[in-house]
Amino acid sequence: MDWLTKVFQITKEINWTFESDLVEGQVTSKKTKESTILYWHIYFNRQFAENARQGLIERIDRVREKIYNGEELDENELTLLEDVFEKHEEGDMISYTISNEKVDQKLRYKGYQMLVSDKISDARKAWCVYQERRILEDTFKTLKTRLSCVRNRVSDNESLIGKTFVQFLATSIEMIVRARLRKYLEEGKASDSLPADYDPARGILDSLNNVMQTKFCEGYYFGESAEQKRGLFEALGVSVPGPETEKEQDYEDEEETEF
């Protein structure tokens, strides 16, 4: 069990033999084969396995209820009926019972994930690199869907530039937050206020989203929620925001402008 990624992990080193450049008609032999060392990282996430189990139970219950009520099953439900139910025929009567053996078989590999690398031998590092790439793909998905950047024509170019720039700033901030959190966790620090998963950045950003600033004529102050999130600010290397008075400005050297 790895404390940072919160998943069980193990690495096996394997010797992979392959054909690097086999010409058409060439017979496979020892001379045409090459080999290299690969690192096979296997992970098990108990929460993913439990979610899959719970989801399967809910789907089975829906199928049972539909069968009892004589309702028609859709394509996915028919597949599930075949996968985990046993059919019984007695004359004109047809009934179904759940096969525990089939259910166990269907859930056997839930929660497992495998990553193969020819460079990274450390299971934790491989997991982190994979998650970083996944988050990057999610960012591109946001650009294409939420901001409609997949379109090559828009009604207002300035609007597109503005939204893209805002997304660029938001993505930059998220990258900074994730980098600082990863460093904080890798140093072995812990905080009850931090989310327990590997990538708590988005949860933290959502939590900090309700930190409100009130501005008045002599300065500004933050609400009580800012102090309550001291642990999050500490993990990010940022001081807890506090009240600040407006600085007096000297206008003596400024030229007068007539309107």
Tens digit of each residue's pLDDT (9 = 90 or more) over 48-93:
899 999 999 999 999 999 998 988 988 889 999 999 999 888 888 8
State the chain's mean pLDDT as an integer. Answer: 78
Q: Is 145 left (phi over 0), alpha (psi -120 to 50) or beta?
A: alpha
User: Which backbone phi and psi does 168 adopt, to 5 degrees?
Assistant: -60, -45
Residue 89: beta bridge partners?
Answer: 94
Count of CA atoms in the C-beta half-sphere (13 A) of 213: 11
CA–CA separation, 59 and 76 (whole Å) = 10
Count of CA atoms in the C-beta half-sphere (13 A) of 84: 18
Return the pLDDT at 238: 75
Q: What is the pTM of this model?
A: 0.55
Return the pLDDT at 169: 82
Please report which confidence band the pLDDT of residue 259 belongs to, taking 50, 70 and 90 as the band edges. very low
Return the pLDDT at 135: 74
Lowest mean pLDDT among 84-98, 103-117, 230-244: 230-244
Return the pLDDT at 112: 95
Tens digit of each residue's pLDDT (9 = 90 or more) over 124-168:
989 888 887 877 777 676 666 655 555 545 567 777 777 778 778
Return the pLDDT at 174: 76
Return the pLDDT at 81: 92
Return the pLDDT at 240: 72
Tens digit of each residue's pLDDT (9 = 90 or more) over 12-44:
999 998 776 666 666 666 676 788 999 999 999
Tally of residues, the chain: 259
* Amino acid at the residue 246: E
Of residues 34 and 226, more confidently modeled: 34
Count of CA atoms in the C-beta half-sphere (13 A) of 249: 6
Please report which confidence band the pLDDT of residue 189 belongs to, taking 50, 70 and 90 as the band edges. low
Lowest mean pLDDT among 5-9, 127-131, 183-187: 183-187
Structure tokens at 149: 């950047």
